[in-house]
């Protein structure tokens, strides 16, 4: 999946106020750009890191660009634009590129199945039904190990409880970790950051929620679906 326009390389000066980042471009300009990530971005927001931004020239837009990629270690890139996880997973589902979730005739995004509950990212159907919730993973711990979440996630905990409710109604449900970091080769719950999430994730797996991880390799040219990764519970 290519980016909508070419990315511009720079150096991260700082991230602040959650959604803002100052970036020094190669031509000497220092710009404030949008940071499209609500998490802590642990290990992905170090000042001095090599970054790539997508410049956007739209009438009425306040900021001139959006931060997309960061180099977290030599040769390792992460996509910090968390909303891209749903877009590339949706495209991969439509192409039948995610083996455990292939073979469905219909894909609906943003579906509510339980009254008063959250919207799930995807509902796959025909034949049968499968609810899919997507989580973007960029927290690399070294030695190829990745973890989720990178901060306490009450929203993530809620989603796990609702996925358990789905399987208890007899439907199929899947939690898909979309790993947008080229240095991650396996995923586990970040128990040291959010032990409640880890406990609920294991409970969900025991109840029948499918837990899978899929690698998406970021490059300045775009994002490429690479294949399945092991999930260590």
pLDDT of 113 reads 82
User: Hey, which residues does 203 pair with through a beta bridge?
Assistant: none
- In sequence order, the β-bridge partners of residue 77 are 71
| Span 103-122, average pLDDT | 89
Q: What gap in Å lies between CA 173 and CA 74, rounded to an integer?
A: 37
Mean pLDDT along residues 133-146: 97
**Which band of pLDDT confidence, cut at 50, 70 and 90, is reported for residue 61?**
confident
Phi and psi dihedrals of 60, rounded to 5?
A: 85, -10
Which token pair is 33? 């750009």
Q: Does residue 116 register a pLDDT over 80?
A: no
Q: How confident is the model at residue 60 (pLDDT cuts 50, 70, 90)?
A: confident
Q: What predicted TM-score, i.e. pTM, was given to this entire model?
A: 0.95
pLDDT category at 114 given cuts 50, 70, 90 is confident
In sequence order, which residues have a C-beta less than 8 Å from that of residue 195 and are 6 or more positions away? none
**What percentage of the chain has pLDDT greater than the value 70?**
100
Considering the four listed CATH numbers 3.40.1440.10, 3.40.1350.60, 3.40.50.300, 1.10.260.40, the one that applies to the domain covering 84-229 is 3.40.1350.60
Q: What is the mean pLDDT of residues 94-102?
A: 95
Q: Where are the domains of the chain?
A: 7-78, 84-229
Could you tell me the pLDDT band of residue 59, with boundaries at 50, 70 and 90?
confident
Per-residue tokens: 8 = 């511009």
Q: Looking at beta carbons, which pairs linking 17-22 to residues 24 or more positions away fall under 8 Å?
A: 20/63, 21/45, 21/51, 21/67
pLDDT attached to residue 200: 98
Phi, psi of 198 (to 5 degrees): -60, -45
Tokens of 24: 């020094």
Angle between helices 195-207 and 154-168 (to 10 degrees): 10
How high does pLDDT run on average in the chain?
A: 95
How far, in Å, CA of 147 to CA of 199, rounded?
A: 14
Q: Where are the alpha helices (DSSP H) in 50-141?
A: 84-94
What confidence score (pLDDT) does residue 81 get? 97
Q: Please compute the mean of the pLDDT values over residues 178-200 and round it to a whole number.
A: 98
7-78 has which CATH code?
A: 2.40.50.580
User: What's the rounded mean pLDDT across residues 199-213?
Assistant: 98
159: confidence class by pLDDT, cuts 50, 70, 90: very high
Q: Are 76 and 183 spatial neighbours (Cβ–Cβ below 8 Å)?
A: yes
């Amino acid at each position: 999946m290519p980016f909508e326009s070419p990315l511009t390389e720079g150096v991260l000066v700082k991230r602040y106020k959650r959604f803002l980042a100052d970036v020094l471009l190669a031509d000497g300009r220092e710009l404030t750009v949008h940071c499209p990530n609500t998490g802590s971005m642990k290990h992905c927001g170090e000042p001095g890191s090599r970054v790539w931004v997508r410049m956007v020239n739209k009438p009425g837009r306040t900021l001139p660009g959006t931060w997309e990629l960061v180099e977290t270690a030599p040769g390792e890139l992460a996509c910090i634009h968390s909303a891209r996880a749903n877009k590339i997973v949706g495209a991969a589902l439509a192409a039948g590129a995610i083996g455990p979730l292939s073979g469905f005739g219909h894909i609906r995004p943003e579906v509510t199945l339980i009254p008063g509950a959250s919207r799930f990212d995807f509902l796959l159907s025909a034949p049968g039904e499968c609810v899919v919730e997507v989580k973007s993973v960029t927290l690399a711990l070294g030695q190829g190990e990745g973890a989720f979440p990178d901060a306490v996630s009450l929203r993530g905990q809620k989603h796990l409880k609702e996925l358990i409710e789905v399987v208890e109604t007899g439907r199929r449900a899947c939690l898909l970790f979309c790993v947008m970091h080229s240095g991650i080769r396996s995923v586990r719950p970040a128990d040291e950051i959010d032990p409640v999430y880890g406990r609920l994730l294991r409970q969900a797996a025991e109840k029948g929620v499918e837990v899978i991880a899929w690698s998406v390799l970021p490059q300045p040219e775009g994002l490429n679906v690479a294949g399945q990764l092991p999930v260590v519970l």
